[in-house]
Structure 1
Amino acid sequence: MLHDFFLALGFFTRLPVPNHPNFSDAALRRSAIYFPLVGVIVGGLLALIFVLVNLVFSTSISVLITLAVGFLITGGFHEDGWADTADGLGGAFRREDKLRIMTDSRLGTYGSLALWAMLTLKTVTLIELLPLAGWLVLLVTHALSRWAAMSAMVWLDYVRAEPSKAKPVVSQLSVRRWLASALFVLPTLVWLPPLTIACLLTASLLMTLLWHEFLKRQLGGYTGDTLGASQQLNELGLLLVWLALV
């Protein structure tokens, strides 16, 4: 289990991890259960960075530095999925063309605009929210948004036909394993007021359902890129809902 956790951590971040002694597609599939725990670690590291930097600099500078460190930790993994998804869904009408565009490593107009909007909204929201709600915001939103994104692996079909090194990681997931992965999210929520928990979970559920319906209409299912896009949408949506509450 520890080796599978490190496999997930190494796949979704740039953090150094031990080599997996029995690396295989099966090990990659098993590692999926640890996605929310990776979010807890990333969110915890970013919270620590923000607290330390904020001792010296203003909130706005601290947020920008924290986000920049986040890109270094994750390699912009989910942001890349968000941009690729926007390029594919915005740049074509036929399903096959959408999927083809999403595999193109070049960044197009739709992806650039989507990435600008996402990062700008996230930055401004965090600048307003962190002084009011504290560093726990980073821990909760990173964990919960990753768990919500995983739901596509349970309820939708994987639609990319060509081989991909990421396919074993993002392949179908059982309901039991998805629910078990929620155990990594729960400890981050227990520190919040019941109303805040209820609003965040409701918002995440609604965003996820709408996103799933949109993907079924556009692609007939999900890809690795749309999982990254789902995480980004959930993270931003949770931040906005939290800000509205406080």
Structure 2
Amino acid sequence: MIALLRRFLIALQFMTVFRVQDNLAETEADLAASIGFYPLVGLFLGGLLAGGSILFSMLFPPPVTGLLLVLALAVFTHGLHLDGLADTADAMFSHRDRSGKLIIMKDSAVGVFGAAALVFVLGLKILLLTELAWPGARFVLLLFPVWGRWAVSLTACLSSYARQEGGLGRPFVDLAGASELYPAGLVTLVLSALGGLPALAAMLTVTLASLAGVWLWRRLLGGVTGDILGASAEVGECLGLLTALAFF
């Protein structure tokens, strides 16, 4: 039980701004093992957002509530996934070859496509959360961060690392496998089942899109990077929200 709690805390510290203890992850294997707990980190974030929605909706109209929720999520995750989204978009829409795309991902500067992707995704989230800012849809606020982290777990566990040299995402991709994928999938499935048909449909959509992403990045780059894992979280959240909204 202590080992499981430690893995969850490692995942929480890596994926969010919340800190429990320095050097909690002693080895790269510890980081990889924490992938199985990413959906639970998503549930933690979803709980904060659902609570924030209750408070904000009493004070502000739905558009402002949606904006504040998106801002809160970006702060809670220290923009980690948004950074990955921007770098991935710049690389994907460039006309470079494989090595050129990987070089673009390492560049900290944000290009035109990266900026456009950020504007699109953040704007879409604000619109979707505005539409879902009512009590009957609050379970979606609880679950959409779960679907985004499930996308990360699935992508990492089924992919190879694209770079020859090391990188932030290497231990997650190289060392994670079925022992991390199964618990992440089970947690996501159980939580989605509790949310009913809209939530199950959202999980299915995110799962299929993530599998397609694994195939696409294997074809384009030979695998994934840490930036791609971050982008998969953002795309997974948006697809989950879109699918759930379609059922209301």
> TM above 0.5, one fold?
yes
Structure 1 residue 17: Cα displacement: 1.3
Counterpart of 1:167 in structure 2 is: 170
The CA distance in 2 between the partners of 1:89 and 1:137, in whole Å, is 30
Match of 2:59 among 56, 59, 64: 56
TM-score, normalization: structure 1? 0.92
Counterpart of 1:229 in structure 2 is: 231
Partner SS state of residue 135, structure 1: helix
Answering whether residue 111 of structure 2 is matched by residue 108 of structure 1, we say yes
Q: In the superposition, relative to structure 1, how do residues 139 and 184 fare at CA in structure 2: closer, same or farther (>3 Å)?
A: same
Contact kept, 8 Å, 1:130 with 1:137, in 2: the verdict is: no
The CA distance in 1 between the partners of 2:80 and 2:185, in whole Å, is 22
**Total equivalences in the alignment:** 245
Counterpart of 1:71 in structure 2 is: 74
Structure 1 residue 208: Cα displacement: 1.6
Match of 2:20 among 10, 17, 22: 17
Please give the residue correspondences for 1:57-206 in structure 2 after superposition, counting only pairs within 5 Å.
57-131=60-134, 133-193=136-196, 195-206=197-208
* Sequence identity (%): 33
More displaced stretch, 213-222 vs 179-188: 179-188
The CA distance in 1 between the partners of 2:199 and 2:77, in whole Å, is 26
**Residue deviations 1:119-175 (CA, integer Å, cap 9, x gap):** 111111111123274221122111122112222222221112222244223434222
The CA distance in 1 between the partners of 2:12 and 2:76, in whole Å, is 10
More displaced stretch, 183-192 vs 155-164: 183-192
Structure 1 residue 85: Cα displacement: 0.2
Q: Which runs of 5+ in 1 are unaligned?
A: none
The CA distance in 2 between the partners of 1:99 and 1:237, in whole Å, is 25
The CA distance in 2 between the partners of 1:222 and 1:115, in whole Å, is 20
The CA distance in 2 between the partners of 1:28 and 1:13, in whole Å, is 14
More displaced stretch, 166-175 vs 59-68: 166-175
Contact kept, 8 Å, 1:32 with 1:169, in 2: the verdict is: yes
